[in-house]
Amino acid sequence: MVITIQSQIYSFLVTVYGGFILGALYDIFKVMRKVFHLKKAFVPAADIIFWLISTVIMLYFLYMSNYIELRFYNFLGFLFGVLLYYFLLSEFVTEILIIVTTGIVNFFKFVAGILLKPFGTAIRFFKKPWDFAKNSIGEELKYFKIFKGKK
């Protein structure tokens, strides 16, 4: 199949754009690890999810550019796009993502605190009568043989 130079340039530029997207996806996963403090046991699972999503994205861009005909310039395009993203936007995007995700996490913590406050108040309200009843009845019950614990 004959591929014109215009279609090769188009394919290269589409894969550069795909590399930009892969770089942004990597930053998203990097920030999620930082914000949610993933345990070491979950890091390999997150890496597998990242690579599966990256593979689907790469196949999508390869399909859109030249129907998944693998050429060397496709791989160069992805590499160039990732490097271009890394050196131009990665630091800025990472900072913005950290600010946004910590803001969202703090918002949900605030809302959860508001929603759970009545339960904490109710527990504190019933705790004193409960402790009083438990201590009063507990003292009385220990005089009966049936309620004595084994020694």
Q: What are the pLDDT digits (tens) for 33-92? A: 888 888 888 889 999 999 999 999 999 999 999 888 899 999 999 999 999 999 999 999
> What distance in Å separates the CA atoms of residue 2 and residue 76, rounded to the nearest whole number?
20
Question: Which structure tokens are listed for 15?
Answer: 């894969």
Percentage of the chain modeled with pLDDT above 90: 60
H/E run at residue 142? none
Mean pLDDT of 4-12: 93
Lowest-confidence region among 20-24, 85-89, 111-115: 111-115
Q: Name the residue with tokens 């201590």.
A: 135
> pLDDT-derived band of residue 18, with 50, 70 and 90 as boundaries?
very high
**b vs e for 35-59, b when ≥16 Cβ sit within 10 Å of the residue's Cβ?**
eeeeeeeeeeeeeeebeeebeebbe
